[in-house]
Amino acid sequence: MKYSFETVKYEKNLPARILYQEKPGWRSRTKLHWHKEIELLYIIQGSLILTRNGRRTVLNTDDIVVINSEEIHIVDVDDNDRVNAYLLLQLSYEYAKQFYKKLDTVFFDIDRNEKAKESLKQAMRNLTELNASDDEFAPLKENVELNKIYYTLLEYCKHQKRVSINKSNNANFRYAKIVIEYIGDNYRDEITLNDMAALVGLSPAYFSKYFKSVTETSFVTYLNTVRLEHALKDLVTSNVSVMDAALENGFPNVKSFISMCKKVYGATPTQCKKKYISGEI
């Protein structure tokens, strides 16, 4: 899967992907990504840090947020061990467009209408309950809740895009998307800041500031975070050494792999593997 674009697989017979998550902080982190789907994130318990198009929001228990189509976003945490429970809902853009042909001209903001926001929260709570239910009609009831959500968003939460600002935003984030896609395809290779600056036609100094401003993370940190995710996955799921996991996923040496792992997760790669195998994480 490319880091630049996430392909979402919908649930059978449902116009959305419903994903219930309950896991410790370090496993709640995501990579920078975007997708065509409209996304709703509801915090059942815990705390997540959402950054979308460079805007940082701290989400706590019972908070809900909408992530618009093609918004670059990433989830982080401030506690690696605290367990977070949340419901992630990815809504089909094409399904919504059947009911509102001008969907490309609008965006969704649920904070401007408290009644609509509470309605969305209740629908997410209902979906959470249905997730744990053995009701034979649960899929049918899920469809009812999903269509309530589509209706609420389209009727009460849509707002017209301002064309001039929209064009500016598209240009602003286009370079970041190009670089993120390139890293997703080539993280195993040597990649430098100068390479990426040249790729998008910017000076290295300007590109460095630009990338940090739109993603809230430095280019080097993002690159090494991608490498870290793949290296840990290989370490946990394959019979490879720490050295092989590091070198085969773009790290120049074992030391940099271990250092990045400690920085992000507060543990060495070997410790992370042991915790995963023992079921602690």
Same domain, 156 and 182: no
Same domain, 222 and 259: yes
The enclosing domain of 229 has a CATH number of 1.10.10.60
Residue 26 covered by a domain: yes
10-residue averages of pLDDT along the chain (281 residues): 40 83 87 87 96 88 95 88 94 94 94 97 96 89 96 96 50 80 92 94 93 86 91 88 95 95 88 74 51
Same domain, 172 and 273: yes
Residue 11 covered by a domain: no
* Predicted pLDDT at 35: 84
Same domain, 43 and 146: yes
Q: Where a domain ends, among 160, 177, 201?
A: 160
Range of the domain at 76: 16-160
| Residue 54 Ramachandran class (φ > 0 left, ψ -120 to 50 alpha, else beta) | left
Same domain, 192 and 110: no
Same domain, 255 and 174: yes
Which of 252, 237, 128 minimizes the C-alpha distance to 190?
252
Angle between helices 204-215 and 163-186 (to 10 degrees): 110
Give the β-pairing of 47-52 and 73-76.
Answer: antiparallel
The tokens describing 122, both together, are 């209740």
Q: Where a domain ends, among 116, 134, 160?
A: 160
* Predicted pLDDT at 110: 97
Same domain, 39 and 108: yes
Number of domains in the chain: 2
Rounded to 5 degrees, φ, ψ at 266 are 70, 25
Stated pTM of the model: 0.69
Residue 5 covered by a domain: no
* Predicted pLDDT at 164: 41
Same domain, 156 and 178: no
Question: What dihedral do alpha carbons 142, 144, 145, 146 form, nearest 10°?
Answer: 80
* Predicted pLDDT at 256: 95
